[in-house]
Chain A
Amino acid sequence: MFKTHRFLIVDGGMGTMLQSKGLKAGEQPELFMLKNKEVVTSVHKEYVEAGADIITTCTFGANKYKLGSDEKSREVILCAVECAKNSGAKYVALDIGPCGSLLEPIGSLTFEDAYDSFAAQVKAGVEAGADLVIVETMSDLLEIKAAILAVKENSSLPVIATMTFEKDGKTFLGTDAKTAAIALTSFGADAVGVNCSLGPEELSDVIDEFILYAGVPVAMQPNAGLPVIENGETVFKITPEEFAEKSAEKAKKGVLIFGGCCGTTPAHIKALADKLKDIEPVKLPEKHFTSFTSGRETVILDGKNSAVIGERINPTGKKKLKEALRNKNYDYVINEALNQENCGADALDVNAGLPEIDEKETLVAMVKEIQAICSLPLQIDSSDPEVVEAAVRIYNGKPIINSVNGTEDSMAKILPIVKKYGTAVVALTLDDSGIPKKAEERLRVAEKIISRAEAMGISRDDIIVDCLTLTVSTSQSAVKETLKAVTLVKEKLGVRTVLGVSNVSFGMPNRELINASFLAEAYGAGLDMPILNPLSEKYREIIAAHKVINNEDVSGKDFIEKYGNVEKMAAPVKADAKKDLKDIIISGIKGEAKSAVAELLKEKTPLQIINGYFIPALDVVGEGFEKGKMFLPQLMASAQAVKNGFEAISETMGVTTPTKGKIILATVKGDIHDIGKNIVKMLLENYGYDVIDLGRDVAPETVVKAQQESGAKLVGLSALMTTTVKSMKDTIDALKVVGADCKVMVGGAVLNEEYAQMVGADYYVSDATHSARVAAEVLKDE
């Protein structure tokens, strides 16, 4: 279908057509169809007569989340495909829209939930005899990835994948058009593009981005302009002629697949088909660039620019990160990610290779956490192919895999993952005989990997060669060979190069100086992508200078902004008088708490500091808060100061401080308003309790399981809505059924003493300080 180079015309809107044929406001078109098959078939027929090659089934919302079950979804799909076939359509496309609930982390649907639902739809579509699949109106790259994978893993049908963009050129979840074009291509869609939301004119820039960056044919199915809901009916203003005119402009620029979305009618499609008759399809030139994306943004390496990969999320040799990963403390990982982003990293390496942890579980969890918050593309770093695939599968963009090498085993296991998920990959120039000594030999290993990859249909644009940095202290003469190999590989193979920079100085004094000098020389040799610690100022200076010399930082704008005023900057003012730690906490001076605690640790034990400073200060703040003399931001500032103080204790003493007992906290099922719970958590941790935070939207059985496993004597539940207070009762009932030996405290905006009793709680807490008092009472004997 997409092999021949000609225009394909898809039909226009269905929902808006059915509105004029009896579909009521708010009624699901799929259910309307079950009762009115002939009406739906007649709409399809009108589109066939108007000139549509592809007829889209009336199944936009035919998933289990909107219809209640996979069985209902199947029933609808079988009926819809039949309706479409009965219209005499040339091709029938199974239509798949979003699940209707948002995926994690904003919503609570998991990637696997979404995949399973889409897979059931695809299987029904295959059973009914659909010719292709159109996945459309998606805002979330991860959701559309689940849908495309579901098509590819459960059928051999081609798939057109389109997303919906707003006036700012981004989807509701913040994905820009360039990223969508590149990522959708990498997921394996046969055609990619834009649908719904706006008219063809407003979407013009977005479509141009697709033409520039997509690696497969581009599709556009805009609305007939912006919808207006009048008297319960959705109406659209763009005329068929205008619609056809604006669409045809894009035909001349390279779009191949045309159609309409909401508000377009057979008249729009007819006008479009007529217009396209006089236009010759444009063949787009082949595109050559190396790219990788996050769910929001894209990095492109075209050989003229460079990009920095942050190396800090790798537990090797990092005590604090190791500790954090062991405790599943992903806040630490998130902070590492954001700090590197703020220091100018363009992508982040993510590694969870620790012997004592479950690498697969940890890497997947880290990728989920980071991609939810950080805008940078990730480099999935593991030597275990199973771990790599698990992490790549749930990644919401086009990642880099780190890495494949020239051994048969590695190529056989990693390259299929690269191919299947359309990732970029780092290729290490080593093979069964180790790292070759000579640059020319490393070139040959790179050549071998590339030709193997190309034979599998992987473009060399997606291969980034690592010529491997050796250390000056053990292999001094080899360091120059690496640089020579970088130049050779780049020139002879036309690929991008990557190097880990920091190891070169291993075993030497003033490592930063050697590292920075090596970086400068590597840039000179043609390095495109260093892997380094972006928090190092020395590196950042070299990178900034390189970007000026390399003509990337045009007119040295960034450089001047950064270094132009250095001399004028005043030295930071040193705090004059030493403040008492208690005052620091009460005033919420977060930045000074750590050093004050470190100072005190010279003469006092951690417990003396906790009981003599932290708790008395928190009590003062708590009392002020309850009396309305201090306010929530101040309470949080003081809590943060204490938290920083605890960090100083664990850093200085190398121990975790003794705990006063375990407390489980959860925001109950159905509720996602968790800030109250998080405030409580912070304060309870301040007071020295070990808080097991189960998060939000937590099922009763999860709370029960955690209580039984941990033996926590106190459980805190929060809910904000009247509808979710019921989940609170269900959770407390579930705890009672198993005879859990614990007290329950509840809090949240709609609760009071009376409601708390009604749901069966032992305590009602009005705010965080109140919860600390309850904890003290319940856990006094721990």
Chain B
Amino acid sequence: MRDLDKDILYCLGYGNNLPDDRTKSLIEKVKTEALPKLKPRAVHGTFQKNMLNFSGKDIEEHLNGAEQCILFAVTLGAESERLFSIYQRTDMEKAVIFDAVCDAFVEAFADEYCDNLLKEYREKGLYINTRYSPGYGDFNIEYQKEFISLLNCQRSIGLTANDSSVLIPRKSITAVMGIFTSPPQGKTKGCAACNMNSTCKMKGKGKCLKHTDF
């Protein structure tokens, strides 16, 4: 299990530093007033790999050996956008904290969802690997639209993508996992494969939020 508080601090750029008491209590305050209002939603589906037209070295590697895959999408929903507007209009300090809280929370929610899927598949004697999202490595971000359409995301969880493949609501994740009959090779998709490699502020500072498999 990941530590939500630690992730929030990472997202705020604290690295291994600790916040002062005032900031710490403000983070708590934002968590208490905002988290209960968020309604995270998720949808997933299984697909034959050959039904998906994903191309790219990284995604092929990621799904190598799998015949079936799971596509999934999670979102913190429209309320996250409304709260974000409120904070931005009234208190920018809370706004940046809320931004970090959402980033950490949506990752945690996606993790939990994947963990449950993992358990479910283990019971069937199958394995699934880690999640991989459009926009990472050479897995083109424009595949967001495929995810939205294949999972009928607007109907199922209220998630859309615009022409620039920006997910709306913003605090959302789509990803794909392979289903395997034997334990998948633990391939590390580290910073080297990431398109944010040159600019990422988390690089070398510990666990990266976007890649859970290192």
Residues of A bordering B, CB below 8 Å: 24-26, 98, 100-102, 105-108, 137, 139, 164, 166, 168, 172-174, 196-197, 227-232, 234, 262, 331, 334-335, 338, 372-373, 587-588, 590, 628, 631-634, 636-637, 639-640, 669-673, 675, 678-679, 682, 721-724, 727, 749-752, 754
Contact = CB atoms under 8 A, between A and B. Distances in A.
Q: How large is the interface on B (under 10, 10 to 19, 20 to 34, 35 or more residues)?
A: 35 or more
A672 B88 CA distance: 14
B149 A723 contact: no
B185 interface: no
A235 to B, nearest CB: 10
B13 A231 contact: no
B27 to A, nearest CB: 8
A588 B26 CA distance: 12
B165 A721 contact: yes
B169 interface: yes
Nearest to A682: B92
Interface in B107-157: 135, 141-142, 146, 149-152, 154-157
B164 interface: yes
Contacts of A640: 91-93
Nearest to B161: A101
Given A231-B47, A752-B198, A672 B12 contact: no
B31 interface: no
> Which label, helix, strand, loop or mixed, suits the secondary structure of the B interface?
mixed
A727 B157 CA distance: 29
Contacts of A100: 154, 160
B97 interface: yes
A672 B166 contact: yes
B170 interface: yes
B23 A723 contact: no
5 contacts: A173-B158, A633-B19, A634-B23, A675-B99, A723-B164
Given A334-B89, A590-B93, A723-B166, 16 more contacts: A24-B51, A106-B168, A137-B155, A166-B41, A229-B46, A229-B150, A232-B47, A338-B86, A373-B86, A588-B22, A631-B14, A632-B13, A633-B19, A675-B95, A724-B166, A749-B199
A166 B79 CA distance: 14
B92 A107 contact: no
A213 B173 CA distance: 37
Nearest to A672: B166
B6 interface: no
Contact of B23 (A101, A227, A633, A721): A633
A335 B90 CA distance: 7
A102 B170 CA distance: 12
A588 B93 CA distance: 10
B149 to A, nearest CB: 5
B3 interface: no
A672 B22 CA distance: 30
A164 B14 CA distance: 41
Contact of A172 (B20, B86, B88, B158): B158
Given A164-B155, A633-B96, A633-B97, A672 B168 contact: yes
Sort A-B residue pairs by CB-CB distance and give the 5 closest, nearest first: A229-B45, A172-B158, A670-B164, A636-B93, A723-B164
Nearest to B85: A373
A543 to B, nearest CB: 24
B94 to A, nearest CB: 8
B184 to A, nearest CB: 20
B150 A25 contact: yes
Contacts of B181: none
A106 B169 contact: yes
Contacts of B152: 227, 234
Contact of A633 (B12, B154, B200): B12
Contacts of B158: 139, 172-173
Nearest to A674: B88
B32 interface: no
Contacts of B93: 588, 590, 633, 636-637, 640
Contacts of B141: 721-723
Contacts of B55: none
Contacts of A634: 20, 23
A631 B166 CA distance: 27
B162 A101 contact: yes
A671 B166 CA distance: 7
A166 B208 CA distance: 33
Contact of B199 (A373, A721, A751): A751
Contacts of B84: 675
A372 B89 CA distance: 12
B81 interface: yes
B187 interface: no
Contact of B78 (A173, A335, A637): A173
Nearest to A171: B158
Contacts of B97: 633
A750 B195 contact: yes
A373 B89 contact: yes
B46 to A, nearest CB: 6
Contacts of A164: 155
B97 to A, nearest CB: 6
B105 to A, nearest CB: 16
A678 B88 contact: yes
A749 B48 CA distance: 34
B15 interface: yes
A24 B47 CA distance: 12
Interface in B3-27: 12-15, 17, 19-20, 22-23, 26-27
Nearest to A590: B93
Contacts of B164: 669-671, 721, 723-724, 727
Nearest to A333: B89
B196 interface: yes
Contacts of A106: 78, 81-82, 168-169
Given A174-B78, A672-B170, A749-B196, A26 B96 contact: no
A107 B150 contact: no
A197 B151 CA distance: 13
Contacts of A227: 152, 156
B61 interface: no
B48 to A, nearest CB: 6
A232 B51 contact: yes
Residue among B17, B91, B96 having the largest count of chain A Cβ atoms under 10 Å: B96
A682 B96 CA distance: 12
Interface string B68-91: 100000000111011011101111
B62 interface: no
Contacts of A168: 39
Contacts of B17: 628, 631
A486 B207 CA distance: 67
Given A633-B97, A724-B166, A25 B78 contact: no
B90 A631 contact: no
A640 B26 CA distance: 14
B177 to A, nearest CB: 14
Nearest to A197: B155
B48 A231 contact: yes
Given A174-B79, A722-B195, A723-B164, A632 B96 contact: yes
B163 interface: yes
A528 B90 CA distance: 32
A631 B170 contact: no
Nearest to B83: A373
A108 B162 contact: yes
B9 to A, nearest CB: 9
A26 B89 contact: no
Contacts of B168: 102, 106-107, 672
A559 B1 CA distance: 44
A98 B148 CA distance: 15
Given A636-B96, A678-B92, A724-B164, A631 B12 contact: yes
A280 to B, nearest CB: 34
A221 to B, nearest CB: 13
